[in-house]
Amino acid sequence: MHGSPSSFRGFVLVWLGQVVSLLGSAMTWFVLTLWAYELTEKATAVPKEQYARASGMLETAWAASSVLAPMLAGILLGRIGLTGIMTIDIVTFVFAIAALEELAARSQVSPELCKPAKAGIIQTSW
């Protein structure tokens, strides 16, 4: 049995959206790295002797979220529905912003330097 061409067209549309999303995420990661360097004049907030550990932690988090998030979402979809999943997404977004705020508060970066970036994050998030 073959699917109709229109169903494949729908898949291609979703696939293209994912490609654009991943490209945007990669560009954001690159620009945020440059922005952090511009603010702190340091390539990283991690001491050089901790590079391997930090890299391992980041890769583990990335891999775990890539595997576990879709499985968890599939389980939760049947139990709490799409609204519940979106609520969890919003709560985790707020948690991430709070963690970044805490990090910024502990850093040596002047708060005035962060204001334009915070405004940009809020404007592009909505």
pLDDT (tens digit per residue) in 45-66? 677 788 788 888 888 888 888 8
Number of domains in the chain: 1
Q: Which domain holds residue 10?
A: 1-43
Residue-level pLDDT at 79: 92
In a domain, 22, yes or no: yes
SS3 category, 15: helix
Residue 5 lies in a domain: yes
73 to 40, 43, 53, 83, 120: CA distances (angstroms): 37, 35, 29, 12, 29
Model confidence at 41: pLDDT above 80: no
In-domain check, residue 92: no
